[in-house]
Amino acid sequence: MNAKAKKYVDMFRKVKIASAATVDEGGHPQTRIINVMIATDDGMYIVTSKGKPFYKQLVKRGEVALSAMCPDCQSLKFLGKCRIVGKEWVDRVFEENPGMNEVYPGKSRYILDAFHIYEGHGEWFDLLNYPISRESFAYGGEEVERNGFRISDKCTGCGICARVCPQKAVREGSTYVIEEEHCLQCGLCAEKCPADAVVRLHP
């Protein structure tokens, strides 16, 4: 895993409390609070038990979205693929998270399965400090996802985008430039550009 992804995977583990979102059989979003139990160079590990809808959704779709709030008010989000791994990972989860023994004492732990989130991409976002900042990461062969906007060569240099930007994240130039890492992705520049030069990065 690259160092940037490792930093954020470790952050998920450090925060530990995350939300995990899945899609249910009816195509609806479902989310619940979980713990990121283990983070390694190969990804993240979570557990859940066979009786839960969450388990069925993980097995059926093989994917999970995570989000978490860091103590200093920065947020993480992530979408990844997952699969069940051997029961030795349940044991390792209980070793590294001894509180689990109170919830699943003795052999009852084996009603749980461990899911390895073996690839995915995500974003760290800091809305609290000025300028706001974001950074994308990916591991396991996935590519970082780019959202937000860029300014095309249709730009006439009128500067309206820079004036309306709530975060002053547009740099002046013959063609203006959106500083992606400081962009709210609110879309106000796209809405106000008279030359229709602001293009969405993600369809």
Residues making contact with a second copy (CB under 8 A)? 17-23, 27-33, 49-53, 63-69, 75-77, 79, 102-106, 108, 111-112, 125, 127, 130, 132, 147-149, 164-167, 184-188, 190-191, 200, 202
Q: Which of 163, 129, 132 has its CA nearest to residue 148?
A: 132
Taking the complex as a whole, the smallest distance from the CB of residue 17 to a second copy amounts, in Å, to: 5
Is the CB of 87 or the CB of 174 nearer to a second copy? 87
H or E element, residue 7: helix 3-15
Taking the complex as a whole, the smallest distance from the CB of residue 85 to a second copy amounts, in Å, to: 19
Is the CB of 41 or the CB of 131 nearer to a second copy? 131
Taking the complex as a whole, the smallest distance from the CB of residue 203 to a second copy amounts, in Å, to: 8
For residues 133 and 178, the answer to whether their CB atoms sit within 8 Å is no
Side-chain-side CA neighbours of 67 within 13 Å: the count stands at 10
Is the CB of 3 or the CB of 202 nearer to a second copy? 202
Tokens representing 170 are 């547009």
Is the CB of 2 or the CB of 69 nearer to a second copy? 69
Taking the complex as a whole, the smallest distance from the CB of residue 59 to a second copy amounts, in Å, to: 13
Helices (H), 80-197: 88-96, 100-103, 160-164, 188-192
Tokens representing 58 are 């993980």
Instruction: Give, rounded to a whole angstrom, the gap between the first and last alpha carbons of the chain.
Output: 28
Rounded Cα gap, residues 18 and 128, in angstroms: 19
Taking the complex as a whole, the smallest distance from the CB of residue 41 to a second copy amounts, in Å, to: 24
Is the CB of 41 or the CB of 53 nearer to a second copy? 53
